[in-house]
Structure 1
Amino acid sequence: MIRDDIKQSQIAAMKAGDKESRAAIGLMQAAIKNRDIEARTQGPVADDDALVVEVLQKMVKQRRESIAMYRQGGREELAAGEEAEVAVIERFLPQQMSENETRAAIEAIKAELGASGRKDMGRVMAELKSRHAANLDMSKASGLVKAALS
């Protein structure tokens, strides 16, 4: 489980004296704990790894947005810190699909659902998310789905 890998990595970072990794892993654990608390009111969680991946993907997205803003503001040292956190977080995410793999998955779903135009975009996106959410950046996939359905 990803949650166990994160705990083991925190122990290893503490033993190695790696303050940056330890801090990033601590942030990850806090975000996961917050998500666990939110999930308590929603009933039992079917797939713990999916929940953890969702939290980590959200963290990466937030940091990438911060990096862009820091670079616009000329704060390269802050952008570098965020990039270091992204590198630590991405160690725990499953391998992301390439653009060609994403296009192939979209085409397969499109054919399976009989999708032909933009009106079917929601159905295709929902099916894509249900099958590949853990190893696909949905914001990038959205543009590819839109292009495939045009």
Structure 2
Amino acid sequence: MGLREQVNTALKQAMKDKDSARLTTLRLINAAIKDQDIAKRGGDDDACVNDDEILAILGKMTKQRNESVRAYEEGGRIDLAEGERSEIKIIEEFLPRQLDEAEVEAAIEKAISDIGASSIRDMGKVIGQLKEKYTGQMDFGAVGPIVKNRLCNVG
């Protein structure tokens, strides 16, 4: 079952369970997916986002909510921060398991050696391979500087 179907199944179950908080978050996920479907169409009525693109959407939604949690906590609005955290938990149900720090390091090293990266010019290729294999499993905002640092120290 694809991610789109998983979200729709969870949405129907939340309706049956009358779980309004979960239902609201699942509707937000569905709306984000449909927005991307519409943006992708551009004349092709059958174009839909695939699972990798849905993972990217979910990753972006999680990142936005994490930023909101930080802002709310800095502003002393713990109640709002908790609401964002509960949305993050629901969104993360559809994301693959996040790699831990050691696994991220190993994936970066493997990508660098697979590509034969030898300078900062190869950074795009390394990141591209990581995105192809690990979409939704690592924070590419954090991975970029690590890859850059490794490539600057190669050779």
Task: Decide: shared fold, TM above 0.5.
Answer: yes
Determine the structure 1 residue equivalent to 2:41: 40
Determine the structure 2 residue equivalent to 1:81: 83
Determine the structure 2 residue equivalent to 1:118: 120
Give 1:136's match in structure 2, choosing from 135, 138, 143. 138
Determine the structure 2 residue equivalent to 1:57: 59
Go from structure 1 to structure 2 and tell me whether the alpha carbon gap of 1:46 and 1:145 turns closer, same or farther (over 3 Å shift).
farther
Q: Residue type of the partner of 1:140?
A: A
Aligned-residue sequence identity (percent) comes to: 37
Q: Residue type of the partner of 2:5?
A: D
- Superposed counterparts of 1:4-23, under 5 Å: 4-23=5-24
Deviations 1:19-44 (A, max 9, x none): 11000001100011001101112867
Gaps of 5+ in 2: none
Assess if the C-alpha contact under 8 Å between 2:37 and 2:47 holds in 1: no
Question: Structure 1: how far apart are the matches of 2:144 and 2:64?
Answer: 18
Give how far 1:88 is off. Answer: 0.4
Q: Residue type of the partner of 1:5?
A: Q
Gaps of 5+ in 1: none
Q: Does 1:108 align with 2:113?
A: no
Question: Structure 2: how far apart are the matches of 1:61 and 1:142?
Answer: 16
Determine the structure 1 residue equivalent to 2:25: 24
Q: Secondary structure at the match of 2:135?
A: helix
Determine the structure 1 residue equivalent to 2:99: 97
**Which one is further off, 80-89 or 122-131?**
122-131
Q: Residue type of the partner of 2:55?
A: V
Question: Structure 2: how far apart are the matches of 1:20 and 1:74?
Answer: 22
Q: Residue type of the partner of 2:112?
A: K
Deviations 1:53-86 (A, max 9, x none): 1111111111111111111111111111011100
Question: Structure 1: how far apart are the matches of 2:24 and 2:83?
Answer: 11
Give how far 1:105 is off. Answer: 1.3
How many equivalent residue pairs? 150
Q: Residue type of the partner of 1:30?
A: A
Assess if the C-alpha contact under 8 Å between 2:73 and 2:81 holds in 1: yes
Question: Structure 2: how far apart are the matches of 1:100 and 1:122?
Answer: 22
Deviations 1:71-129 (A, max 9, x none): 11111111110111001000011112222111111111111222233333222112211
